[in-house]
């Protein structure tokens, strides 16, 4: 994950970065999976993010819906700085000072993010292990075909 020079980013660029990395398929309705093209903006928060209302299923959602940051009140710029600090291994006290948060808050975020990363890593490793076992069984039975 490449982090831009955050000091040079404005709020709009921060929102775009967070959306690109937290929603790789694009921001979508959690109810019917429709894109924001089928939604209307109905609330803009002080932190700059927008709440959308889906025209198809009337679900409300925003930039943090269905992510680890769901329900948080962090601005996109602070989310970006938090992720950058955690990925770089910066101490919680340094990140907390940079974001004007408490050290305990940063440690809670770090723990959530690491637990989420370990869960995703475990799923990926488990699926690779199952694929390797299937190949081994097929090769042992002589049913593995050369490509």
- Residue 81 in any domain: the answer is no
Tell me how long the chain is: 147
**Are 8 and 35 members of one domain?**
yes
Instruction: Compute the distance between CA of residue 28 and CA of residue 143 in angstroms, rounded to an integer.
Output: 42
pLDDT score for 10? 81
* Residue 46 pLDDT: 73
List, run by run, the mean pLDDT of 10-residue segments along the chain (147 residues): 56 88 91 91 79 92 91 88 91 92 95 87 67 60 50
Q: Are 110 and 86 in contact (CB under 8 A)?
A: yes
What's the pLDDT at 134? 64
Does some domain include residue 144?
yes
Q: What is the pLDDT of residue 90?
A: 92
Q: What are the tens digits of pLDDT across the range 39-58?
A: 999 888 776 678 999 999 99
Its pTM stands at: 0.71
Q: What Cα–Cα distance (Å) separates residue 114 from each residue in 48, 108, 135?
A: 27, 10, 31
| Contact criterion met (CB below 8 Å) for 15 and 52 | no
Q: What is the pLDDT of residue 2?
A: 45
Which of 72, 107, 133 corresponds to the end of one domain? 72
Domain count, the chain: 2
Residues 6+ apart with CB under 8 A from 82: 74, 95, 99, 106, 109
DSSP-derived secondary structure letter, 7: G
Q: Is residue 85 part of a domain?
A: no
Domain with 97 in it: 90-147
């Amino acid at each position: 994950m490449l982090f831009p020079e955050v000091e040079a980013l404005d709020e709009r660029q921060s929102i775009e970065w967070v959306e690109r990395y937290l929603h790789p398929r694009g921001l979508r309705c959690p109810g019917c999976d429709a894109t924001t093209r089928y939604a209307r903006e109905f609330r803009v928060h002080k932190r700059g993010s927008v709440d959308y209302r889906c025209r198809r299923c009337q679900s409300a959602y925003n930039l943090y819906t269905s992510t680890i940051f769901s329900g948080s009140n962090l601005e996109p710029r602070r989310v970006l700085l938090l992720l950058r600090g955690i990925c770089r291994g910066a101490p919680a006290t340094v990140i907390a000072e940079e974001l004007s948060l408490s050290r305990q808050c940063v440690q809670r975020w770090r723990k959530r993010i690491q637990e989420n990363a370990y869960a995703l890593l475990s799923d990926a490793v488990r699926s690779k292990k199952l694929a390797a076992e299937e190949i081994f069984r097929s090769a042992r039975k002589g049913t593995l075909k050369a490509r």
